[in-house]
Homo-oligomer: A and B are copies of this chain.
Amino acid sequence: MAIGYPNGKKPQQPNKANAVKKNQKLPTLYGKRGMSLEDDLNDTNAYYLAHDIAVIHKKPTPVQIVRVDYPKRSNATIREAYFKQPSTTDYNGVYKGKYLDFEAKETKNTTSFPLNNFHPHQLTHMEQVVKQNGLAFVIISFRTLDEVYLTMYQNFYPFWQRMAEGGRKSVAIDELRDVSALIPYGLNPRLDFLSVLDKASR
């Protein structure tokens, strides 16, 4: 006789159809689970580059280098350095002759996006880009919800201004949805933000 479990249900039998082997990757979920927004974007940008769709790179993290050891000339080792605040956004590049510039942020929040994820000078930079007729936008990933939005700078800035005028320090997700386009997860490219941008920037 089988020993019953405390809740009276039989222990669940592994379902062969749904069984996932150790280390097996499920391609349809690959884009969603476990990858950071940065990984998704780097992957997408590599796809764009390989297919002559756009040239977009993430800028290196700015570092103030103080001390470098040169044991050999070919093998310099940085021994003391500090992180500097970036003066621009993280990503820029060219797409069909147009200059693109964007910042990407991730949050685990499910109801709002906290504006302190941005530095004031990043907003200033996007403002300058728009003045030069470049395309500036933000990409915000709600990680827990698996939702990623593209918001043109012109639509994002009013939330920042509201905060500057003493209003709330975050953007409610519904407010953001109203002025943003959802970037659907795909396989290749993983986050096809350019097809979304084509519509959003019209």
Residues of A within 8 A of B (CB): 49, 52, 54-55, 57, 59-63, 65, 76-84, 86-88, 92-101, 125, 128-129, 131-134
Contact = CB atoms under 8 A, between A and B. Distances in A.
A61 to B, nearest CB: 7
A3 to B, nearest CB: 49
Given A52-B132, A76-B82, 6 more contacts: A52-B128, A60-B63, A60-B84, A63-B81, A78-B81, A99-B134
A94 B153 CA distance: 16
Contacts of A97: 98-99, 132-134
Contacts of A83: 76, 78
A174 B201 CA distance: 46
A82 B92 contact: no
A131 B60 contact: no
Contacts of A55: 125, 128-129, 131-132, 134
Nearest to A54: B132
Contact of A82 (B52, B57, B77, B131): B77
Contacts of A78: 63, 78, 80-83
Contact of A99 (B77, B98, B125): B98
Nearest to A132: B94
Given A78-B81, A82-B78, A95 B60 contact: no
